[in-house]
């Protein structure tokens, strides 16, 4: 195959240059919702499957080479394995590049993974040529070793991004009690920097930080949170109930959009309460704790961030708090690995999750938690084999705040016993056999704040009764209460244009400012001929924008063939929702599905042009934010 070595030298050089030029010539992801983006997403999703082929081939080649060196047997021909390795390495790196182009994987670590993958494939295609043309085996084996090192590094970064750091599961780390470090104390902590950031750092930054941004979403600054990722903004200051940063935490653990994903450290009830309070308070960056009104339920949590001035009550509680013996803790984890952990850094409270055990966890296993009964505040028994008798043991955890018994065999007898517990504020009962007989018992638990009841035997009448009996409790029955039919926005819109078109006599055509000129509540705009003309529409408040219809003038449609549409919550941080590339059409129907106050439409051209649209129609739901 390599008879003409200089021909192949030129071909391989050109292929290597093309591979390594891909990130240079295509530095930005494909435009969302474009056909190119769809193909990148489709083909790129095969990358995790294909990448195992070059790893397997290279491992086989290394083993054969090692066997030849050790046994000193006649050399096994490597040409075919090396050529197959080169082919699958190039295919895997190309599919990986396409997946990177979707924008789902970004950040410094993923960019390093991309470059190392392309360098690995470049080295792989040179190995057959070096093997056949260089007489001495030393250059070939040196190149083979270098290729192995690059492949190992790329595989480690890729594997860690999907499965986490494997070293974190080492037995000497797993069986060691979590290190309880004291948070940085200050007389007056800054809410965002000293309290909110540590929560996000522990639960979010690994996938949405500076090094890696899944879904193109970064959460390591307020500006990045407002900007959002591929699908929507993550933060709506002043409205926690509509901020995906919080709403995704409330989703069921099995939901694909629940954050953090199943198997990752979850946000505790106190941490969630802090995030909701901070967002509802305006998500300020520099506000100090003394400048806020602290909810009573969070006073004890915030106390751990302030230079201690303990009240007599708190001091008494601390002296009563028993110390957990490392030996007892290790013995428990030996029998029930990956189940018990501290609720947060520096806390003295624990959470238990049977996610790693599931059906192998029974009623009698609850007794093993007795040494931790006073520290246990979260108990997740989802999908386990517990029965109604487990309620008696659960009553022995006096400080329990959150209980999950979804997808178990419990029924009304369990609730009848559990109602005696007056500390549980979050109760997850979905996918169980509870029925209308449990209504009175649940209604007596007035301390409940959140109750999850979908896929049970409760009738609509009983649910309505619970809603009336528990006015301070959010009851989730699995129904979607947020979907509304959209409608044409009829409110006032303030228009700002880069310039307003003047007639020959220099008078402004006033009909371009008339919202009813081309139909009720439509907007016609016309700028002067200029470089990158734009128009900005201010809806006056954040709205859930579902779609935007743009109607082009039909006589000179090519004017708007490179139109770009962006949205913003604050008028500063913009998110692109549509980018047309040389598309000549009379209208665009753009899906948005985002909260925004501002809409910006511009021509993304490098030559002067008019921006003239016959009308703009904005459709929103009835939700205001």
- Weakest-pLDDT range from 95-104, 117-126, 295-304, 310-319: 310-319
pLDDT band for 101, please (50, 70, 90 cuts).
confident
pLDDT tens column, 516-568: 544 555 567 778 888 888 899 998 888 888 888 887 766 666 777 788 899 99
Residue 200 contacts residue 207 (beta carbons within 8 Å): no
Q: What gap in Å lies between CA 246 and CA 233, rounded to an integer?
A: 12
Residue pair 237/282 in contact by the 8 Å Cβ criterion:
yes
pLDDT tens profile 300-327: 777 766 655 544 444 444 444 456 777 8
Sign of the torsion angle spanned by Cα atoms 303, 304, 306, 307: positive
What are the CA-CA distances from residue 371 to residues 321, 350, 376, 564 (Å)? 12, 12, 10, 61
Q: What is the pLDDT of residue 316?
A: 43
Q: What's the N-to-C CA distance of the chain in angstroms?
A: 66
Q: What does pTM read for this prediction?
A: 0.38
- Above 50 in pLDDT, residue 96? yes
Q: What does the block give as tokens for 359?
A: 């059906």
Taking alpha carbons only, the member of 82, 85, 94, 19 closest to residue 54 is 85
- Which pLDDT score, from 0 to 100, does residue 39 have? 84
């Amino acid at each position: 195959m390599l008879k003409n070595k200089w021909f192949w030298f030129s071909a391989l050089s050109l292929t290597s240059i093309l591979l390594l030029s891909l990130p240079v010539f295509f530095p930005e992801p494909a435009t969302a919702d474009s056909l190119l983006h769809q193909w990148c997403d489709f083909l790129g999703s095969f990358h995790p499957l294909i990448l195992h082929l070059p790893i397997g081939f290279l491992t086989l080649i290394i083993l054969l080479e090692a066997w030849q060196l050790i046994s000193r047997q006649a050399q096994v021909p490597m040409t075919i394995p090396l050529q197959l390795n080169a082919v699958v390495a190039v295919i895997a790196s190309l599919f990986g590049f396409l997946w990177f182009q979707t924008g789902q994987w970004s950040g410094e670590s993923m960019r390093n993974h991309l470059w190392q993958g392309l360098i690995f494939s470049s080295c792989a295609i040179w190995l057959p040529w070096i093997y056949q043309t260089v007489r001495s085996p030393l250059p070939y084996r040196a190149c083979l070793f270098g290729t192995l090192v690059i492949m190992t590094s790329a595989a480690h970064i890729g594997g860690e991004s999907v499965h986490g750091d494997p070293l974190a599961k080492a037995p000497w780390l797993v069986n060691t009690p979590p290190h309880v470090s004291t948070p940085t104390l200050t007389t007056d902590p800054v809410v965002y920097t000293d309290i909110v950031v540590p929560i996000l750092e522990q639960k979010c930054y690994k996938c949405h930080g500076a090094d890696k941004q899944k879904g193109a979403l970064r959460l390591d600054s307020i500006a990045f949170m407002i900007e959002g990722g591929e699908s929507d903004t993550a933060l709506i200051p002043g409205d926690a109930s509509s901020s995906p940063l919080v709403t995704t935490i409330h989703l069921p653990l099995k939901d694909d959009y629940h954050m953090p994903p199943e198997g990752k450290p979850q946000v505790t009830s106190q941490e969630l309460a802090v995030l909701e309070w901070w967002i509802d308070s305006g998500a300020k960056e520099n506000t100090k704790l003394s400048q806020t009104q602290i909810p009573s339920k969070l006073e004890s949590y915030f106390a751990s961030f302030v230079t201690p001035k303990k009240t007599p009550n708190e001091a008494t509680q601390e002296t009563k708090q028993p110390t957990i013996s490392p030996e007892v803790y290790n013995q428990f984890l030996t029998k029930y690995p990956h189940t018990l952990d501290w609720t947060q850094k520096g806390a003295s409270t624990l959470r238990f999750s049977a996610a790693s055990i599931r059906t192998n966890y029974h009623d009698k296993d609850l007794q093993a938690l007795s040494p931790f009964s006073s520290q246990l505040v979260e108990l997740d028994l989802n999908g386990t084999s517990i029965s109604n008798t487990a309620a008696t043991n659960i009553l022995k955890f006096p400080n329990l705040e959150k209980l999950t018994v979804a997808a178990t065999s419990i029924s009304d007898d369990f609730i009848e016993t559990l109602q005696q517990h007056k500390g549980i504020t979050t109760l997850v009962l979905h996918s169980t056999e509870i029925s209308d007989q449990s209504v009175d018992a649940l209604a007596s638990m007035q301390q409940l704040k959140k109750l999850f009841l979908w896929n049970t035997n409760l009738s609509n009448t009983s649910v309505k009764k619970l809603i009336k009996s528990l006015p301070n409790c959010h009851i989730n029955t699995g129904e979607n209460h947020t979907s509304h039919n959209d409608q044409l926005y009829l409110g006032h819109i303030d228009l700002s244009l880069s310039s307003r078109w003047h007639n020959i006599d220099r008078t402004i055509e006033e009909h371009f400012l008339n919202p009813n000129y081309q139909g009720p509540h439509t907007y016609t705009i016309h700028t002067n001929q200029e470089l990158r003309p734009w128009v900005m529409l201010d809806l006056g408040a954040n709205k859930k924008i579902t779609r935007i219809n743009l109607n082009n003038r039909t006589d000179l449609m090519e004017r708007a063939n490179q139109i770009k549409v962006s949205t913003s919550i604050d008028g500063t941080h913009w998110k692109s929702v549509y980018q047309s590339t040389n598309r000549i059409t009379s209208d665009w129907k753009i899906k948005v599905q985002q909260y925004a106050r501002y809409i910006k439409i511009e021509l993304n051209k490098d030559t002067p042009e008019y921006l003239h649209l016959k009308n703009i129609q904005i459709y929103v739901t009835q939700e205001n934010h």
